[in-house]
Amino acid sequence: MTRVGVDIGGTFTDLVALTPDGVLEIRKVGSTPRDPSLGLLRSLEALGLDGVDVLVHGTTVATNALLERRGARVVLVTTTGFEDLLWLRRQDRAALYDLAKHHPEPLVARRDVIGARERMGPDGAIHALSGSEVSRVTAEVRALAPESVAIALLFAFRHPEHERRLAAALRAALPNVPVTASHEILPVFREYERTSTTTAEAYLRPNVAAYLRKTATLSERHGVRSLRIMTSSGGTLSPEQAANRAASLALSGPAGGVVGARLIGAAVDAHDLLTLDMGGTSADASLISGGVALTEGAESVAGVPLALPTILIETVSAGGGSIASVDEGGALRVGPRSAGAEPGPACYGRGGMEPTVTDACLVLGWLDPQYPLADLVHLDRAAAERALSTLPLSHDVCEIGAGIVQVATAVMARALKRVSVARGIDPRGMALLPFGGAGPLFGCALADSLGMSRVVVPPHPGVLSALGLAAAPERVDVLASLHRSLDDIRDGELARAFQPLVAAAAAALPDAGVTRFVDCRFTGQGYEVTVPALRDDPATLAAAFQAAHRARHGHGDSDQPIELVNLRVVAERPVPAAAVGRRAGIGIPSAGRRMIVTRDGKRVRADVWPLGEMPPGRHLNAPAVLAGPDATGLIEPGWRGIVHASGAVILERT
Amino acid sequence: MRLDAVGLEVMAHAFASIAEEMGLVLVHSALSPNIRERRDASAALFDADGEMIAQAAHIPVHLGALADAVAAVRNLEPHPGELFLLNDPYAGGSHLPDLTLIGAIDIEGRVAGYSVVRAHHSDIGGMTAGSMPAGARELYQEGLVIPPTRLTPDLERLLLANVRTPAMRRGDLAAQRAAVERGASGLRSLARRHGWAALSDAARELLDYAERRTKAVLRKMPVTATATDYLEGDGVIDDDLEIRVSIAIEDGVFHADFTGTRDAAPGNVNCPIAVTRSAVLFVVRTLLPDDVPMNGGVPRAIEVTAPPGCLVNARAPSAVAAGNVETSQRIADTVFRALAAGGCVVPAQGQGTMNNVTFGGSSWTYYETIGGGQGASRGANGPSGVHVGMSNTLNTPIEVLEMEHPLRVRTYALRSGSGGAGTWDGGEGVVREFEALAPMETTLLTERRRHGPAGGAGGLDGKAGANLLNGQRLASKTTLRLVAGDILRLETPGGGGWGKGHES
State what percent of residues in chain A have pLDDT above 90: 51
What are the phi and psi torsion angles at A56 (to 5°)?
A: -105, 130
Sign of CA dihedral A220, A221, A223, A224: negative
Size of interface A-B (CB pairs under 8 A): 217
Is residue A480 exposed (0-12), middle (13-18) or buried (19+ Cβ within 10 Å)?
Answer: middle
Which pLDDT score is estimated for A577? 59
Residue to test with chain B: of A91, A126, A194, most B Cβ within 10 A: A91
pLDDT of B4 reads 62
Closest CA to A324 of A353, A295, A294, A285: A353
What does residue A342 show for φ and ψ, rounded to 5 degrees? Answer: -130, 120
Any A CB within 8 A of B410 CB: yes
Cis status, amide bond into A623, omega within 30 of 0: yes
| SS3 state of residue B340 | helix
C-alpha dihedral sign at A44, A47, A51, A54: negative
Of A82, A94, A560, the CB nearest to B171: A560
A399 burial class (0-12, 13-18, 19+ CB within 10 angstroms)?
middle
Mark which residues 435-494 of B lie under 8 Å from A by CB. Answer: none
Taking 70 as the threshold, does the pLDDT of residue A580 lie above it?
no
A8 vs B8, higher pLDDT: A8
User: What pLDDT score does B341 carry?
Assistant: 96
Q: Which of residues 298-337 of B touch A (CB under 8 A)?
A: none
Interface probe, candidates A92, A120, A337, A521, chain B, greatest B C-beta count within 10 A: A92
**In this structure, what DSSP letter does residue A155 have?**
T
DSSP for residue B479: E
Strand bridging mode A314-316 / A283-289: antiparallel
Q: How confident is the model at residue A588 (pLDDT cuts 50, 70, 90)?
A: very low
Q: How far apart are CA A195 and CA B399, in angstroms?
A: 12
pLDDT digit string (tens) for B33-53?
899 988 999 999 999 999 999
- The interface residues of chain B toward chain A in range 68-87, judged by CB-CB distance below 8 A, are none
How big is chain A by its Cα radius of gyration, in Å? 26
Dihedral of alpha carbons B332, B338, B340, B343, sign: negative
Q: Are A365 and A597 in contact (CB under 8 A)?
A: yes
**Sign of dihedral through CA atoms A405, A407, A409, A415?**
negative
Give A538-603 as a DSSP string.
HHHHHHHHHHHHHHHHS-----SPEEEEEEEEEEEEPPPP---S-EESS--PPPEEEEEE-TTS-E
Weakest-pLDDT range from A86-95, A306-315, B168-177? A306-315
Residue A192 CB: number of other CB atoms within 10 A? 22
- Among residues B339, B399, B371, B335, the alpha carbon closest in space to that of A94 is found at B371
How many residues appear in chain A? 654
For residue A97, list chain B residues with Cβ-Cβ distance below 8 A. 60, 282, 285-286, 288, 290
* B124 reaches A (C-beta below 8 A): no
- The number of angstroms, rounded, from the C-alpha of A417 to the middle of its chain's C-alpha atoms is 17
Mean pLDDT of the region A99-104 = 92
E strands present in B175-311: 224-232, 240-250, 253-257, 302-305
In angstroms, rounded to a whole number, what is the distance separating the alpha carbons of residues A649 and B249? 59
Around Cβ A135, how many Cβ atoms within 10 Å? 12
Q: Which 3 state secondary structure label does DSSP give A617?
A: coil
By Cβ distance, the residue of B57, B174, B385 closest to A87 is B385
pLDDT of residue A373: 59
Q: How far is CA B57 from CA A383, B16, B24, B295, in A?
A: 40, 9, 12, 11
Q: Given pLDDT bands bounded at 50, 70 and 90, which one contains residue A372?
A: low
Query: Which of B68, B157, B62 shows the shortest CA–CA distance to B117?
Result: B62
- Name which of B10, B170, B384 is nearest A410 (Cβ-Cβ): B10
Instruction: Give the distance from residue B257's alpha carbon to the nearest chain A alpha carbon, in angstroms.
Output: 23
- Chain B interface, mutation test: which of A79, A87, A89, A97, most B Cβ atoms within 10 Å? A97
Average pLDDT over residues A291-303: 72
| B106 neighbors B114 (Cβ within 8 angstroms) | no
Residue A585: is its pLDDT beyond 50? no
A526 to B400: CB separation less than 8 angstroms, yes or no: yes
Whether B65 contacts chain A with CB within 8 A: no
Q: How many CA atoms lie within 13 A of B69 on its CB side?
A: 40
Dump pLDDT digits (tens) for A533-569.
Answer: 888 888 889 999 998 888 888 888 777 889 998 898 9
Report the residue of chain B nearest A327, measured CA to CA: B291
Q: Chain B contacts of A332, Cβ < 8 Å?
A: 5-6, 9
At B502 the pLDDT is 60
Q: CA of A415 to nearest chain B CA: how many angstroms apart?
A: 9
| Residue A277 bridge partners (DSSP) | A284, A435
CB-CB contact of B363 with B165 (8 Å):
yes
Say yes or no for a CB contact (<8 Å) between A333 and B291.
yes
- The count of other CB atoms within 10 Å of the CB of residue B439 is 12
**Alpha carbons B446 and B356: distance in angstroms, whole number:** 6
Residue A293 predicted with pLDDT over 80? no
Cis link prior to B383 (omega < 30° from 0)? no
| CB < 8 Å to A86, chain B | none
Backbone angles phi, psi at B366, to 5 degrees: -145, 135
Interface test with B, best of A79, A84, A296 (most B CBs within 10 A): A84
Instruction: Measure A81 CA to nearest chain B CA, in Å.
Output: 5
Q: What is the DSSP string of A180-244?
A: EEHHHH--SS-HHHHHHHHHHHHHHHHHHHHHHHHHHHHHHHTTEEEEEEE-TTS-EE-HHHHHT
Give phi and psi for B126, each to the nearest 5.
Answer: 90, -170
Please report the pLDDT score of residue A366 as a whole number: 95
CB-closest option in A411, A524, A555 to B168: A524
**CB-based contact A553 B178, cutoff 8 Å:** yes
pLDDT score of A32 more than 90: no
Q: What is the pLDDT of residue B1?
A: 36
Distance from the B284 Cα atom to the nearest Cα atom in chain A, whole angstroms: 9
Residue whose C-alpha is closest to residue A251's, from A285, A206, A213, A224: A285
Question: Sorting pLDDT into bands at 50, 70 and 90, what band is A587?
Answer: very low
pTM: 0.88
Cβ pair A30, A39 in contact under 8 A: yes
The predicted structure's pLDDT at residue A456: 97
**Given 3-state DSSP classes, what are the helix, strand and coil percentages for chain A, each rounded to the nearest 5?**
35, 30, 40
Rounded distance between C-alpha atoms, residue A385 and residue A642, angstroms: 33
Other C-beta atoms lying within 10 Å of the C-beta of residue B184: 25
Residues in chain B: 504
Backbone angles phi, psi at B24, to 5 degrees: -65, -45
Average pLDDT over chain A reads 89
CB contact under 8 A, B193 and A451: yes
Q: Is B173 within 8 Å of chain A by CB?
A: no
Nearest Cβ partner for A526 among B36, B411, B430: B36
B377/A527 touch (CB, cutoff 8 Å), yes or no: no
Q: Does B189 touch chain A (CB under 8 A)?
A: yes
Residue B431's closest CA among B375, B492, B474, B388?
Answer: B492
Chain B: residue nearest A117 by CA?
B410
Give the minimum alpha-carbon distance from B68 to chain A in angstroms, rounded to a whole number: 22
**What span, in angstroms and rounded, lies between the C-alpha atoms of A261 and A254?**
11
> Does the model's ipTM exceed the 0.90 cut?
yes
CA distance B217 to B208: 14
B291: contact with A, CB 8 A cutoff: yes
**Strands across the sheet with B472-473, in order?**
B407-415, B429-436, B487-491, B466-469, B472-473
No. of helices (H) and no. of strands (E), chain B:
10, 19
3-state secondary structure string across B35-99: HHCCCCEEEEEEECCCCEEEEECCCHHHHHHHHHHHHHHHCCCCCCCCEEEECCCCCCCCCCCEE
Please provide residue B118's backbone torsions phi and psi, each rounded to the nearest 5 degrees: -110, 130
> Do B43 and A441 contact (CB within 8 A), yes or no?
no
Least confident of A37-46, A144-153, A155-164, A454-463: A37-46
**A447: phi then psi, degrees, rounded to nearest 5:** -60, -40
Interface test with A, best of B281, B386, B498 (most A CBs within 10 A): B386
Q: Is B413 on the interface with A (CB under 8 A)?
A: yes
Taking CB atoms and an 8 Å limit, are B5 and A393 in contact across chains? yes
Classify residue A139 as exposed, middle or buried by CB count within 10 Å of its CB (0-12, 13-18, 19+). Answer: exposed
Confidence of residue A12 (pLDDT cuts 50, 70, 90): confident
- pLDDT (tens place) for every residue of chain B, 504 residues total: 345 655 676 677 788 888 988 998 999 889 998 999 889 999 999 999 999 999 886 788 887 889 999 999 999 999 999 999 999 999 999 999 999 999 999 999 999 999 999 999 999 999 999 999 999 999 999 999 999 999 999 999 999 999 999 999 999 999 999 999 999 999 998 898 788 888 889 899 999 999 999 999 999 999 999 999 999 999 999 999 999 999 999 999 999 999 999 999 999 999 999 999 999 999 999 999 987 888 999 999 999 999 999 999 999 999 999 999 999 999 999 999 999 999 999 999 999 999 999 999 988 999 999 999 999 999 999 999 999 999 999 999 999 999 999 999 999 999 999 999 999 999 999 999 999 999 999 999 999 999 999 999 999 999 999 999 999 999 999 999 999 999 999 999 999 999 997 654
Q: Is A79 exposed, middle or buried (0-12, 13-18, 19+ CB in 10 A)?
A: buried
